[in-house]
Amino acid sequence: MQFRDFDTALFLTEYWQKKPLLIRNPWAAWENPLDPDELAGLACEADVESRIVTTKRETWKVEHGPFAEARFGKPGKKPWTLLVQAVDHYVPEVAALIDPFRFVPNWRIDDVMVSYASDKGGVGPHFDQYDVFLVQGLGQRRWQVGARCDSETELLPHDDLRLLAAFEATDEWVLDPGDILYVPPGVAHNGVAIGDDCMTYSVGFRAPVRGELVAHWCDHLLSEMTEDDRYRDPELTAQENPGEISVAALTRLQAMVTERLADPLAFARWFGSYNSAPKNPEIDWTPETVVTSAAFADRAVLCRNPASRFSFVRQTDDLLLLFVDGECIDCRGDLIALAQRICGQGAIIMDAALLQSHAALALLTGLVNRGSMAFEAD
């Protein structure tokens, strides 16, 4: 799917992480990519994260999946919403919804959550810490947006939902199929279904937390350090007061900490692996049988697994670091161009040059056998 008319430069300048924007059906031809019954089927799978939120008299209840099929046969009279996480990992048509939003770098993309709601269903007024595009798939939903929130904003007591204690709408719209509402991080919003068969696709983006970055980066550095790496002062001289920690000593001690923390090449290699780690590492995407390079001769197209995360960093002029599902792969020579193609395109056509390159075949074979890429379905 692609947009018919959308000013990316204007959006990034005026709206991205600044203020909400209603985008009336920009698609060349909108088609709802997922049937409600298929969504319910995913919610019955053990490996799929799902929830059902119900509300009655301002009391909110959350049930966690997987659900029995019978749960959807008699959903009850209370307004309810089914939410299924990372649907793009399982349904290629849903994964295609991300493509028009790739003006945001891939490393920022999280997943596509899909919700189905009965009349008046929703999850209550809340705010998120990430950017989200809310694409209306079926039916109608009334969206309200409010003020900016932060960690000091008062929330209602609830174990599973971060509901605002007070919400006052500043804008309100009714979205029809194909319409999109962009909501920046921290902006309060509330969506309520108008009628049954209301489906919404939430294209969400990641924003690393500073504390988590520091903690994980430091953990990584600590794992590589040895006890031999100690403070040394071979040019020590006697000082007037032995109780003083001298400026020279403090400078050397601080350097022992900051030199490793501030290594840009090491940080790039670590962050690429950290950021590309699979969202659901417990799921095994590897093929049933090991693939050899001979298999490429008969298959024309190789596709990325939508559940896999690909990115790259140009480390030096002759070294590119390819990151796939938490693994760092050093690419040199012809592999530099191939790695960029893999990250920038959803599919790779196996042309004669690739078939004749032992290095390219080795790289692609490894990606197929780890489940990060697969041959296009016949």
Distance CA 328, CA 276 (A): 9
Q: In the prediction, which pLDDT does 159 show?
A: 87
Question: What is the chain's length?
Answer: 378
pLDDT at 75 over 70: no
Percentage with pLDDT > 70 across the chain: 99
Backbone angles phi, psi at 282, to 5 degrees: -75, -15
Q: In the prediction, which pLDDT does 212 show?
A: 96
Is 207:130 a contact under the CB 8 Å cutoff? yes
Distance CA 378, CA 372 (A): 18
Q: In the prediction, which pLDDT does 235 show?
A: 92
Distance of CA 108 to CAs 105, 132, 305, Å?
Answer: 6, 11, 17
Distance CA 97, CA 201 (A): 9
* Mean pLDDT (whole number) for 275-287: 94
pTM for the complete prediction? 0.92
* Mean pLDDT (whole number) for 215-241: 94
pLDDT at 65 over 60: yes
pLDDT at 289 over 80: yes
Percentage with pLDDT > 90 across the chain: 89
What digits encode the pLDDT tens for the residues 170-184? 999 999 999 999 999
Mean pLDDT, the chain, rounded, equals 94
pLDDT at 97 over 80: yes
Judged on CB neighbours under 10 Å (0-12, 13-18, 19+), 46 is: exposed
Residue pointed to by tokens 């609830």: 158
Single out the residue of 95, 213, 73, 192 nearest to residue 141, CA to CA.
Answer: 192
Q: In the prediction, which pLDDT does 218 show?
A: 96
pLDDT at 259 over 60: yes
Q: In the prediction, which pLDDT does 168 show?
A: 97
Q: In the prediction, which pLDDT does 58 show?
A: 80
Sheet of 319-324, strand order: 310-316, 319-324, 327-331
pLDDT at 357 over 70: yes
pLDDT at 378 over 80: no
Residue 290 has a CB neighbour count (10 Å cut-off) of 10
Residue 66 has a CB neighbour count (10 Å cut-off) of 14
DSSP lists the bridge partners of residue 321 as: 313, 330
What digits encode the pLDDT tens for the residues 20-51? 999 999 998 999 999 999 999 999 999 999 99
What digits encode the pLDDT tens for the residues 119-135? 999 999 999 999 999 99
Pairwise pLDDT comparison (299 vs 266), residue with the higher score: 266
Omega prior to 100 cis, within 30 of 0: no
